[in-house]
Amino acid sequence: MDLGLQDRVYVVTGASRGLGLAAARELVADGAKVVLTGRQQERLDAAVAELGGPDHALGLVADNGDAAAAEQVLDGAVERFGRFDGILISVGGPTAGPVLTATDEAWRTAFDTVFLGALRLARVAAERLDEGGVIAFVLSSSVREPIPGLGISNGLRPGLAMAAKSLANELGPRGVRVLGLLPARIDTDRVRELDGLAADPAAARAAASARIPLGRYGTPAEFGKVAAFALSPAASYLTGVMLPVDGGALHAL
């Protein structure tokens, strides 16, 4: 199936590694051009090289929590590639730990980056997108079920998902789509770090795999393919939805 991505331009935040980079790989493989953001220039340079160089990708150092970042990144996309068709907002993972031990400062920091920073990017993108444009959020299965030991994520991500659904209603009449992706146990550095917090990481991974109907963690490429489809014109009638990418792990409909 032709996803209709040829020569379209997408911004992917937090894309120097992990799920963001996985999505960028699939977008470029289907003909799109991407603008990647991250906090370390060296990692971004490596990602751009992997994606085929400056004809296909641009790496810009940016922090989602920086109020000026959204304008700078979207300006960079248009300046480099001449257009802007959508954004995949990967909001990263806040500090692990239970609600009872999370400090006020940890909550404020996570709110600025995970919640407010993501919404700021979405607002600025919405101002610039024409009919057919798309805004997608990389969230978490914690939108529907709390994840043990991730109290801050459990608190913030459901609210961001509801804000995304509200934004879908607001932008729908303009033909701009808004949706969210809900990854669960995808085999990324972040998930391996979380498994590593257990007394026996291998046992923790085995137990988590056993709770997934498909019996294994997902691969970044599997997530990336879903993201590329969701961003593409082939998904033109999908908006306001939260798509699990979880191997069946979530129990809710």
- Whether 143 is covered by a domain: the verdict is yes
- Whether 148 is covered by a domain: the verdict is yes
> Averaged over 215-238, what is the pLDDT?
97
> Averaged over 156-160, what is the pLDDT?
95
Q: How confident is the model at residue 178 (pLDDT cuts 50, 70, 90)?
A: very high
- Whether 251 is covered by a domain: the verdict is no
The CATH number assigned to the domain holding 111 equals: 3.40.50.720
- Whether 46 is covered by a domain: the verdict is yes
> Averaged over 204-221, what is the pLDDT?
93
- 228 closest CA partner among 1, 11, 2, 3: 3
- 27 closest CA partner among 77, 71, 70: 77
- Whether 250 is covered by a domain: the verdict is no
- Whether 196 is covered by a domain: the verdict is yes
Structural domain of 203: 9-244
Share of the chain above pLDDT 70, in %: 100
- Whether 1 is covered by a domain: the verdict is no
- Whether 4 is covered by a domain: the verdict is no
Residue 33's pLDDT is 98
For residue 61, give the 3-state DSSP assignment: strand
Q: What is the pLDDT of residues 68-91, one digit of tens each?
A: 899 999 999 999 999 999 999 987
Structural domains counted in the chain: 1
